[in-house]
């Protein structure tokens, strides 16, 4: 597995950061182009461009691969055979993680929030008096990302839709990792929602450097993106600050609320 690790050389402007990864794995097709986006009713004097991260690769798709290149390298360097992550039942990040794990020969375990939970960890604990885990694949409708999760060989565990990451999901991931260790002797690598942690944000520090090479600092005034877990916002904002650029960073939240993202980014 070490043969897939590529040494990481950070941009000079982020050399003073801590926790700089040693490696990444090549999962996506970089550099993605920036194209003018001819939207209707754009005010005179303004132009809109789009960073085509839908072109990072048809298997993984989209921007998720940027974080996964660093997260999987960290998992492999630490000798982990399993990767555990979480998300909604149709999570794009969970699907991308499952595909990447299959490509790299790792086992993937997904804790998926669902409105219908035939097996919850609480119910299994209450019935048996001990912690057990059951892959719920047989109780899931295979469509969309769930179908791709299954085709990638991921094990799926349904959890309540209202589960919160810090108080509900993370403890379950840790218990699952302990269970796997006890059953197989293998270590597991835990990936937070959206891959948004100090390792994953390097995907967007390097994305910023990629855009610098495409004229970002000279040709643009604003960067606008969807914010689903905070990692993209953290990476781009830190990169923007370290480059002392004039750019304005706009994160459009697609879940939770503004304060929840601020709190998570401060933890990162």
Q: Distance between CA 223 and CA 43 in Å, rounded? A: 17
Report yes or no: 31 and 259 within 8 Å, Cβ to Cβ: no
- Residue 167, exposed/middle/buried by CB under 10 A (0-12, 13-18, 19+)? exposed
Q: Distance between CA 6 and CA 2 in Å, rounded? A: 9
Query: Please, what sign has the CA dihedral across residues 255, 193, 261, 247?
Result: negative
Residue numbers annotated as active site: 91
């Amino acid at each position: 597995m070490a043969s897939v690790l590529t040494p990481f050389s950070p941009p000079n402007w982020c050399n003073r950061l801590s926790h700089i990864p040693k490696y990444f794995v090549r999962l996506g097709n970089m550099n993605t182009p920036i194209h003018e986006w001819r939207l209707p009713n754009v005010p005179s004097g303004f132009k809109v461009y789009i960073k085509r991260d839908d072109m990072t690769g048809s298997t993984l798709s989209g921007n998720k691969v940027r974080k996964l290149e660093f997260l999987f390298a960290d998992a492999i360097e630490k000798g982990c055979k399993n990767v555990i992550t979480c998300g909604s039942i149709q999570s794009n990040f969970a699907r991308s993680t499952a595909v990447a794990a299959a490509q790299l020969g790792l086992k993937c375990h997904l804790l998926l929030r669902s409105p219908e939970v035939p097996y919850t960890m609480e119910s299994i604990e209450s019935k048996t008096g001990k912690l057990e885990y059951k892959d719920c694949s047989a109780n899931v409708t295979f469509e969309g990302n769930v179908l791709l999760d299954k085709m990638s060989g991921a094990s799926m565990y349904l959890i309540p839709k209202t589960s919160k990451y810090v108080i509900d999901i993370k403890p379950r991931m840790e218990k699952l990792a302990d269970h796997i260790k006890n059953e197989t002797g293998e270590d597991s690598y835990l990936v937070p929602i959206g891959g948004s942690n100090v390792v994953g944000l390097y995907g967007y520090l390097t994305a910023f450097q990629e855009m610098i090479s495409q004229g970002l600092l000279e040709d643009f005034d604003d960067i606008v993106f969807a914010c689903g877990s905070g990692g993209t916002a953290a990476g781009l904002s830190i990169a923007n600050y370290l480059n002392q650029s004039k750019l304005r960073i706009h994160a459009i939240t697609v879940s939770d609320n503004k304060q929840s993202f601020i709190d998570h980014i401060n933890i990162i």
